[in-house]
Structure 1
Amino acid sequence: MKSRKHFPVPAIIFTLVLAVTASGAEAQSGGLIAGTYRCSSYNVSGGGGSCRTMQPLLLDPDGTYQYSSTRGHWSIQNGKLFLSDSKLWGDGAILGNDTIRFEYDYRGLRHVVTWICREYARADSKDVAPVKARAAAPEVAYVGVSLTLEFGTAVGGLSNFTIVPVEFAVSYTHNVPLPAGAVQGIAWETSSTTVALATNQNNKLMSGKRYVVFLSWPRETIPVTILDLPSTNKDYQATLKATLDGAGVLAQIDQR
């Protein structure tokens, strides 16, 4: 007669608690676990992209989400993840209960970005502390930015500026929709080699992030400098060296 294996009661209870917690989180989200998702792979038309500068994607159990300064509602539709305020990514393919992949075309290039849930959110108890990324949310601040750009050569005829998060800078070009977290406004010349710009109360930037500053002319838009916006809750002013060598500016993104 074969003897039966007996498992310690505490181990059985712990296993059941884990199973109930995971199934509860999935039930809240239609099979996709709510939590903090981080970029795990980034491919641009067969070439490697950088996940290092990508902000986390927060999917909350209450059906809201946040990516950078973009907030909205998320849902599962026809087996895919739908983000209400995402104008660029489109629907996300659900590869597992904690894995999402977005595929979209931008500036003639195919972008494929895979996200994996690194920190699960708990929806079954109001007394449970939020995940670490959400706990830091009160420290996030949106601030006004005023910049003076100093060029080594004369500039003229420009019309406006756009400040774009570094993760979207390579793909940003003339007269395209603003990516998430970007702001736009009027720039003006203060001398033949100096340009000033300022965001307004409705177009603020998330502090503690890196951005690329673009200037636009009637027929072209050029990246002119990189803005390392420090973590602060006060409006920010700075004077930056700038250049019309757009390719050189973009090449600096991964060097800093």
Structure 2
Amino acid sequence: MRIVIFGANGPTGRLLTTQALEAGHDIVAFTRRPDEFPMAHDRLTTVGGDVYDPAAVEQVVAGADTILSALGVPFSRKPITTYSAGIGNIVAAMHRHAVRRIAVVSSSAVDPHPYPDAGFVFNRMLQPFITGILGKTLYGDMRAMEALLTASDLDWTIVRPSGLFDLPHITDYTVATQRADGRFTSRADLAACLLRLAESDRYVRTVIGIVTTTDNPGMLDLIRAEAFGKS
């Protein structure tokens, strides 16, 4: 299978590329910084380009069997359009080249909800601050991306992970339609889920949640790493 991965040079994209190559697929890794992409393989083609460039997007979509998007940008108070504009260009190219299957990474934070085990501080203070202030423009653009996909006739799947963290291995993660109960998702599990979607027609035209249920980090560690860029 020929899989095009957008956002291939990000933390999840690199894991996804590795897992897809190990599974025997032909991979096109699309990244704005191809010189920084650390992989080489006889079934890997690395393409430099920007999702804002329709011609660059169309070049890699042509001939693809499946599109996977692991696009990601940092929080910003300024308007963010990477998700909606990028997926808009991808969807347009897919229609022109009769490519049907796409799975994209969104976030559980586009539809925030309280967690029974999280306590008052997380549910009433931290989550509203992250989703409504710190990540307001990012999650707003993710919602626009989701609306664009759900309005299309493509075989789309929207994947909503919870707080992302790193593990060295894939776990027995949990997937549920719309929302999975849990506050954490490892990037290895997210990549594995995306690859499974590429290999099947399960969850077509469905929003799914994915959570990791073992080896979860502490909440303060996650906030430091993800929201404030500290290790």
TM-score interval w.r.t. the shorter chain? under 0.3
Q: Where is the strand percentage greater, Structure 1 or Structure 2?
A: 1
Q: Where is the helix percentage greater, Structure 1 or Structure 2?
A: 2
Q: TM-score, normalised by structure 2?
A: 0.27
Structure exhibiting the larger radius of gyration computed from Cα positions: 1
